[in-house]
Structure 1
Amino acid sequence: MKKLVRIFLLVLCGASVCSPAGACTNFIVTKGASADGSVMVSYAADSHALYGALYLTPRGRWKAGTRLPVYDWDSGRYLCDIPQAAATYGTVGNMNEHSLIIAETTFGGRSELEDPTGRIDYGSLIYITLQRARTAREAIALIAELADTYGYASSGESFSIADPGEAWIMELIGKGFEDDGRGGNARRGIVWVARRIPDGYVSAHANQSRITTFPLDDPENCLYSPDVISFAREMGYYEGPDETFSFCDAYAPADFATIRGCDARVWSFFRTVADGMDRYTDYAMGYNPDNRMPLWVKPRAKVEPKVVFDCMRDHYEGTPMDMTADIGAGGHGCPYRWRPMTFEVNGREYLNERAAATQQTGFWFVAQARPELPDDMGILWFGVDDAATSCLTPIYCSATQVPECFSEENGSMLEYSPTSAFWLFNRIAQFAYLFYDRVAPVVRASADEWETAQLEAVRKVDAEALGMSPGKRAKYLTAYSTRTAQKLFDRWNELDKYLLVKFIDGNVKGEDAAGFIDNGNGRGIPGRIEQPGYNDRWKRAVAADHGDVLKVVE
């Protein structure tokens, strides 16, 4: 997603032809690489202006001549009307009732290829396609058809497209504008390529195009627009033979900014689940762009869903880019750097790291298409706000109702709501950012406990639902999904109160053997209060900066 994040490109890319949004992250796990045989896709919808909510569209049947209005997902700007399909599938979030999953990250690419006359943006491509396609291959064909028919209204995109059988990466970009003499665009449409991730492998993308060369005669594993190479030649982006053509090098060349701010997130995921990734550390840091990572890797062991959940919480811990380890983390090891993305000292420019977990996440999920179960039993593990200080809860893909705490109608970015999960999780996150080394571990332990319990609970729900008719099953799974989400909301409300009582004013109140805050004499006066202060790195930095004034003199 690209909402309001172009400052990242302006500052980091400089005169580069690339224009990444630097905003979203997708991890993809094929069924042969997952511990439970599911296909998994993760997504963080990151934007400083996006309200975290769960979108739902019921299935429908439509009269001939019905029109569907199209609005730009980022801005809400009206784009056009298109003919409505005769029948549409139900969707919840970025998943439909047949367990088709579509997620995205914006890579931007060459700015001259944006089409000001385009009428289908990347968000509309996702949600319209989810309503009309059953499989990943159908989705790829439909995305191309829609963009070519109505014109593409966004910049370069990478899509994760998965169903219960397979997972694909599709990358596309517009073709710019050329007047056709009638006020239209002679270049309307997109150039694109889609690659199927081999079963047993994992892949990822994070705001930088990642497809390089691709097989030209393997439609089982690679699909592409007929002019993807010839158009690059026409535009002067490529001169070599077809066999060595690289999509990303032609349409979205990488530079320091896109590698360090984008591909580094892919590298961190890869190194968590696969061996040998430290050989690409210099690439991830932007120091050696020739040492490019592969598009997919084979994990050292089958990947558990909880591992994918936790990879979305990454801040480069344990790497040279560890955001908790330098003085920028402050006196409490906070792994966040407020925008803008760069700063200048004595004429030298420096960057703020961009990790998978980030403060501006609107919503995030890990979707599971599960081939061993009916297609209507896929699960969207859904959460709102920063992944590191929030929690996922299971929403079945056949759900026909959204929990109140996740409703689009419940609050907004400009309207606080006490019953909104987005505002509740943000409130806890803001407190955690102040005392991260104290508060965040408590929040993370609560999230781990909840998610582990729910992963176990859905097994029993699955077994119960399998014996039902599809209609009865949808009602049962909807009730379970909404009820469980509201339980999480109630639990997090209690956590919010507990954190404030325990950590108010920089103090840490002691607890008794049962885990309750120590009531001392029983009259509401704390029995024990600790004041841990700041970490040693911070103390040394303060002493070096201002010690002459702060030193104690005998």
Structure 2
Amino acid sequence: MVQTEPFSACTSILIGKNATVDGSVIIGRNEDSRPAWPKNFVVHPAVTHDTPQVFKSQDNDFSMPLPANAAKYTATPEWTTKYGLFEEDGINEYGVAMSATESTYANTRVLAADPLEKNGIGEEAMITVTLPYIKSAREGVKRLGTIVATYGTDESNGILFADKDEAWYFETGSGHYWVAQRIPDDSYAVIANQMAIQEIDFADPDNFMWHPGIQDFVKEHVLNPGRQGFNFRKIFGTANQMDTYYNLPRVWYGQKMFNPAVEQSVGSYELPFLRQADDLLSVDDAKAFLSSHYQGTEYDPIGNGDEADRKRFRPVSLATTQESHILQLRQFAQPELSGIHWLAMGVAAQSVYVPFYAGILSTPAAYQASDVVSYQAESAYWVYKQAGVMVDSHYREFGGQLSDLQKDLNQKFGQAVIEADNVGRELDGVELSAYLTKISTAQAELGLKKYRELTADLITKATAFSPLKYKQDLNL
């Protein structure tokens, strides 16, 4: 298939509830495509239709019937629908979170046996046809699995699901075959554009799900290179130079962050899918990983290593990130209060994660303003992107100022969440949704205000860096 839509090459993280400091289930991902490809953030209200509904893709000829009832959900669609919707991530009214997709690569052996479907479901449609129609993470895996098996897929991808009890990682390995694994409650996973799931235990349906015909498919086409077991990564995935330089280093760095005592080679093909972190993890740890660029190593693009090392590996956070999200499901009874959609517009390393409660009724106008690909001053995406562009030009001079602002906003956002949680526990229904909308909007507006002020200050200071300058010798 000729690819006309923006190519996505993301990085993901999933954390089980017993691996976090507060019992949250956390999933997150950097949506990476192009250096300038704006995103919006919206809330779709719940809808009940009187007539049968059909989804029709604007990217290919994929179509499928939809249920009459669609739940409310948040989403981050693109500035244009020309290439499809690409809603990418969100939390629905039942407290289910979904992020789609982590682009992966299948090997030619399996694609010869089960090619990708030109008009199958793709990344652009997955959120739209799945998230409004599920009431648990497990139900999300089953629904998407049925869709992939029935209609096929035009890409190989990884998809993240979560509710306040479970996190699941779902992978498509060819045109129709897929597997999914529940992240153990005490574990985490970091994934970077590579088939990640390893051994499948077909005797454990509580923790694994799969296409019902996948074992027969692999056996019939003699695809398993292992002497025993069923290692999905080795059967369906790749092991090549792109993995060595583009994918594996990001997984290595994430595991280095959370298990610093474990010695691993940066290019090892044996990096495990799952690990138990040395310490309990938090949203801040997820933010740190998704914002990372090999800090503390010779591979940091803005560090002190030699030029070759600084350009050797693809970092987690980079200029092509459109938005970065962390979907947090806390142990609250009300799904409106339990879920927080942390959203950083633009490059995660240069942006800030704004907390939007799952119960919000709307998003600020600035988060819905992008309707062209070029710069728009009123767009939230461009507010954060513009600040990053200014810092890029003079990172050593401006980087500290950006970091100080990020720390200040992170603290303020954290305080706002603590206060909102305390108030929200005493509210319900429309009153709770209205309150959470007010609080989330206030945090979003604070972030925009502070980043606009930062940009104005950096532009003023940057005037001193013009090459068209001259210092007169007073002795002349």
Asked if these proteins are the same fold (TM beyond 0.5), I'd say yes
Indicate yes or no: 2:445 matched with 1:486. yes
Does structure 2 retain, via aligned residues, the 8 Å contact 1:399–1:477?
yes
Instruction: Tell me the distance in 2 between the aligned counterparts of 1:82 and 1:269.
Output: 38
Are the structure 2 counterparts of residues 240 and 385 from structure 1 closer, same or farther at C-alpha, using a change threshold of 3 Å? closer
Preserved contact between residue 27 and residue 327 of structure 2 (Cα < 8 Å): yes
2:10 is the alignment partner of 1:28: no
Give the aligned residue type for 2:67.
A
- The residue that corresponds to 2:85 in the other structure is none
Q: Which amino acid aligns with 2:398?
A: V
Alignment: residue pair count = 444
* Range 137-146 or range 483-492, more displaced: 483-492
| Aligned-residue RMSD, C-alpha | 2.5
Shift of the 329–450 alpha-carbon distance from structure 1 to 2, 3 Å rule, reads farther
Q: How does 1:263-412 map to 2 (within 5 A)?
A: 263-277=248-262, 279-280=263-264, 282=265, 284=266, 286=267, 288-289=268-269, 292-323=270-301, 324-328=303-307, 352-377=312-337, 378-407=339-368, 409-412=369-372
Match of 2:463 in 1: 504
Structure 1 residues 371 and 123, CA gap change in structure 2 (3 angstroms): farther
| Pick aligned residue for 2:198 from 208, 212, 218 | 212
- d(CA) in 1 for partners of 2:3, 2:366: 24
Amino acid at match of 1:299: A
In the alignment, does 2:178 pair up with 1:192?
yes
Cα 1:85–1:109 shift into 2, 3 Å: same
Q: Which letter does structure 1 place at the counterpart of 2:131?
A: L
After superposition, the C-alpha distances for 1:367-397 in whole angstroms (9 at most, x for unaligned) are 1011234212210011111111111111111
Q: Give the aligned partner of residue 229 of structure 2.
A: 244
Structure having the higher Rg? 1
Alignment of 1:13-92 (within 5 A): 23-48=9-34, 50-71=37-58, 77-92=59-74
Instruction: Name the CA shift for 1:89/1:455 in 2 (closer, same or farther; >3 Å).
Output: same
Return the alpha-carbon distance in structure 1 between the equivalents of residues 286 and 106 of structure 2. Answer: 28
Distance 1:273 1:254 in 2: 24
Q: Is the 8 A contact 1:216 1:222 kept in 2?
A: yes
Contact 1:212 1:249 in 2 (8 A): yes
Offset of 1:100 from its aligned partner? Answer: 1.4
Alignment of 1:109 onto 2:106: yes
Contact 1:208 1:259 in 2 (8 A): no
* Deviation of 1:114 (Å): 4.1
Q: Which amino acid aligns with 2:136?
A: T
Cα distance in 1, alignment partners of residues 49 and 323 from structure 2? 31
| 1:249-264 alignment runs, 5 A limit | 249-264=234-249
SS state at 1:423 partner: helix
The superposition leaves residues 128-152 of structure 1 with CA deviations (integer Å, 9 ceiling, x where unpaired) of: 2111011111000000111223232
- Residue 259 of structure 1, CA deviation: 3.4
User: Structure 1 354/383 Cα, relative in aligned 2: closer, same or farther at 3 Å?
Assistant: same
Secondary structure in structure 2 of the residue aligned to 1:174: coil
Whole-angstrom distance in 1 between the partners of 2:410 and 2:144? 34
5+ long unaligned stretches in structure 2:
76-88, 472-476
Picking from 197, 212, 228, the partner of 1:226 is: 212
Q: Structure 1: 5+ residue runs without aligned partners?
A: 7-20, 72-76, 176-189, 338-351, 508-530, 532-554
Could you tell me how far apart the structure 2 residues matched to 1:425 and 1:327 are?
Answer: 29
Which of these residues, 435, 454, 460, is aligned with residue 394 of structure 2?
Answer: 435
TM-score, normalised via structure 1 length: 0.75
**Deviation per CA, 1:386-420, whole angstroms, max 9, x where unpaired?**
1111111111112221211211x434313x21111
Q: Aligned letter for 1:361?
A: T
TM-score, L = length of structure 2:
0.87
1:228 shift after superposition:
1.8
Q: Distance in 2 between matches of 1:488 and 1:239?
A: 51
- AA partner of residue 204 (structure 1): V
What's 1:186 paired with? Answer: none
Query: How many angstroms apart in 1 are the aligned matches of 2:74 and 2:194?
Result: 27
- Is 1:172 matched with 2:169? no
In structure 2, how many angstroms separate the alpha carbons of the residues matched to 1:239 and 1:315?
34
Partners of 1:197 and 1:221 lie apart in 2 by: 8
Give, in whole Å, the separation in 1 of the partners of 2:451 and 2:308.
26
Equivalent residues of 1:405, 1:485 under 8 A apart: no
Cα distance in 1 for partners of 2:334, 2:273 equals 30
Contact 2:169 2:182 in 1 (8 A): yes
Secondary structure in structure 1 of the residue aligned to 2:104: strand
Amino acid at match of 1:293: L
Tell me the amino acid that sits aligned with residue 49 of structure 2: W
Change (3 A) 1:124 1:3: same
Q: SS state of the match for residue 249, structure 2?
A: helix
The separation in 2 between residues aligned to 1:100 and 1:89, in whole angstroms, is 11
In 2, are the aligned partners of 1:22 and 1:207 still within 8 Å (CA)? no
Instruction: Give the match's secondary structure for 2:57.
Output: strand
Structure 1 segment 462-473 matched on structure 2, within 5 A: 462-473=421-432
Give the residue type in structure 2 aligned to 1:392: Y
Q: In structure 2, the residue corresponding to 1:296 is in which secondary structure?
A: coil
